[in-house]
């Protein structure tokens, strides 16, 4: 028994040392179905490209947990990422603290709901990812956000069963995106294919590309 625990601690330490050699990225997922399957595919792609150098840790809002399951993507995430946390409250897991201690190169929230975007814009830090984002901004940690509602007008999003859903993106939601975009150290991503450039900016070109 004692030996097993020693082995376990030793293995855990080795894993820690191995992951300490890698840069860490916190990837937040909120409760947005918009482009969610494409974003999960992109998460896997960048993880594969930067497997040797970057440790992607996944943080999911409570609504995100529901929506990911609704879109039947949770198993896919679990199969590909070994470090996944679901929000208990604004400070649990304590992502905000870890960001402020400089444990992460950057925080990326993709997808970001209009709820999360509006809260960050209004400085409401009462959920895991709004708290993490606002505390990251205070600690000069770069914040990347991919909002679902970034352009005024009609948008068509896919329901989990593949049907189209037409929605009206409102000026009020776009205004919050614009407020975030004007904040220092905060960058808005409008398309999924903008994500690789963020990793390239921080970590250089991956070997395989």
Ligand X SMILES: Cc1cc2nc3c(=O)[nH]c(=O)nc-3n(C[C@H](O)[C@H](O)[C@H](O)COP(=O)(O)O)c2cc1C
Binding mask 64-93 for ligand X (x = CB under 6 A): x-xx--x-----------------------
Question: Residue 1: which residues within 8 A CB-CB, separation 6 or more?
Answer: none
Question: Residue 179: which residues within 8 A CB-CB, separation 6 or more?
Answer: 121
Q: Is the dihedral of CA 91, 42, 179, 151 positive or negative?
A: negative
Contact flag: residue 121 with ligand X (CB under 6 A) = no
Contact flag: residue 33 with ligand X (CB under 6 A) = yes
DSSP string, 108-152: EEEEE-HHHHHHHHHT---SHHHHHHHHHHHTT--EEEEES--SS
Q: How near is the Cβ of 53 to ligand X at its closest, in Å?
A: 29
| Helical (H) or strand (E) element with 198 | helix 195-203
Tell me which of 47, 98, 121, 127 binds ligand X, using CB under 6 A. 127
Q: How many residues bind ligand X (CB under 6 A)?
A: 19
Q: How near is the Cβ of 92 to ligand X at its closest, in Å?
A: 14
- Which residues is 112 bridged to in the sheet? 147
What number of residues does the chain have? 209
Interacting positions 43-62 with ligand X (CB under 6 A): 61
Structural tokens at position 194 = 């903008």
Contact flag: residue 115 with ligand X (CB under 6 A) = yes
Return the number of the residue (54 or 112) whose C-beta is nearest ligand X. Answer: 112
Contact flag: residue 137 with ligand X (CB under 6 A) = no
Return the number of the residue (61 or 121) whose C-beta is nearest ligand X. Answer: 61
Q: How far is CA 123 from the centre of its chain?
A: 19
Q: How near is the Cβ of 80 to ligand X at its closest, in Å?
A: 21
Return the number of the residue (13 or 89) whose C-beta is nearest ligand X. Answer: 89
Q: How near is the Cβ of 157 to ligand X at its closest, in Å?
A: 6
Contact flag: residue 63 with ligand X (CB under 6 A) = yes
Question: Residue 48: which residues within 8 A CB-CB, separation 6 or more?
Answer: 208
Residues lying near ligand X in the complex (CB under 6 A)? 30-34, 61, 63-64, 66-67, 70, 113-116, 127, 148-149, 157
């Amino acid at each position: 028994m004692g030996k097993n625990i020693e082995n376990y601690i030793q293995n855990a330490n080795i894993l820690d040392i191995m992951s300490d050699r890698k840069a860490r990225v916190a990837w937040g997922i909120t409760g947005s179905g918009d482009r969610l399957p494409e974003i999960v595919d992109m998460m896997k792609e960048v993880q594969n490209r930067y497997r040797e150098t970057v440790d992607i840790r996944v943080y999911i809002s409570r609504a995100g947990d529901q929506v990911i399951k609704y879109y039947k993507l949770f198993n896919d995430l679990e199969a590909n990422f070994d470090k996944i946390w679901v929000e208990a409250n604004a400070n649990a897991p304590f992502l905000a603290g870890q960001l402020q201690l400089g444990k992460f190169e950057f925080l990326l929230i993709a997808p970001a709901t209009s709820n999360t975007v509006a809260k960050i814009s209004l400085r409401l830090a009462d959920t895991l990812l709004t708290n993490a984002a606002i505390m990251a901004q205070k600690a000069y940690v770069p914040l990347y956000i991919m909002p679902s509602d970034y352009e005024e007008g009609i948008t068509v999003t896919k329901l989990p069963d593949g049907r189209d859903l037409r929605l009206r993106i409102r000026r009020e939601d776009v205004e919050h995106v614009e407020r975030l975009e004007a904040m220092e150290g905060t960058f808005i991503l409008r398309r999924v294919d903008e994500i690789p450039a963020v990793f390239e900016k921080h970590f250089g070109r991956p070997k395989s590309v």
